[in-house]
Structure 1
């Protein structure tokens, strides 16, 4: 299948020197682009209390934007049937990331004792680049084009995207299902974004990743114990500026791993196994760890016309 995996960050007031933005995003309450999001006089379109900004954005994306996207589909011409699957993946800050993998440890002094107070000893929070991912699957590239050629998406959804997102980096990919999901209702996803090692071509990376690395994962008992779904998304999108779906952040991504789990504890347990250590070591053989990243998200299935799911022939 063809997947449009759009990595995204929410509209917020983070200064531009701390987080990127797309041109024409971060709209104010009059629909105009905010020049400096850190300027307290500028009010984001979503508005509201900044203390609950993340909660409001997550609620809006799931409960309002998702239904609006579906409502905008042309039912008379059957365009909605071209969308095989639509998932929203909301990053969870308490889940594992490449910055803070398990096991988690308590901060201690030089003698291994707990500090008397946490004041002055609170670890710095390091935020991944992305707050989530929109995962849209299509049977063919033509189906993708049919959906995104609709006038209503251009006039109704794109302006909304500009108001609620800070950055949208689409990855047009070929989906390879290594381990199919039995239920397609797996709630927790580990999302790993890969950029190849220097000296490899994208084709060489993807071939090795699909053959050697996937076989290594399948050979590990921990993968079958914990992982409910394992998918590789191979970037086949544009590499030149100006082409449809080109984005400077996503054009350098070679692939995305998606692993699904029944609960957050299973993700943490999996990442602490010896099997995963070997998987990660092999990953570093083909993917640059300094340029790659991972985080954990809560998955919401909005549309699904794919059932049952089967492994892709490799």
Structure 2
């Protein structure tokens, strides 16, 4: 039997370089995915365990937490349970988020229509850089502008001290405007060009095409954009804290001071001791924020599935 040449035998025994690279790529990809999943579960476990400890360690009442109006975790009521009425903060977060979405959504969708259907060149050259600039501005700058411009304007020309739901809504509306505009622009651009041409060929005007064809086709993407904007508004902390007044009450008007979940968290977390009732109560507020984030994510995924099936 003839001997195999030495260089050929070495090539057969030596692993292929492409196989090594592919194997290494798989290892790196699975490692990255594993680390991401581990971090997500670690955050979920930490927030859940700390947030629920208010109810099983400090014997807080779940009903009082969601319906109570008084917030003083360091004190106890006549039943010996901590006073953890978080309804004013939950109410403030929802009101500010919903109002800012109602104000911002029409403006953002209108800007997206202008950038894509009416004046694409002007939108690409002027509006797109402006939107990107607004995205890059830190939230503390928005809060400082609201504190020096919006609050004095409301105090001098409307009523009250200037701090309140109205000031927080205005600041959040400006903050989430670029997010909703960018996502709405992508959704409208995703509408097939054939639909536009077919609508115009059937005699529809440009506005009829925009209203009856483009917006209806892009509706799932537009809803997703609004939900993403609401998610950012719901989780915003610093800018809202600077202009909302941070009063633990349910306001009777838009011009009275209020509080949100994030503003109370940022104000109180640095002044509590880990394991105490005050600290655990703040973790419970963080758990509510985490649950709301999951709800927003589930809503986006459901809209996406509806878009695919349609």
The reply to whether TM is greater than 0.5 is no
User: TM-score, normalized by length of structure 1?
Assistant: 0.27
Of Structure 1 and Structure 2, which has the larger fraction of its residues in strand?
A: 1
Structure number, greater radius of gyration: 2
User: TM-score, normalized by length of structure 2?
Assistant: 0.27
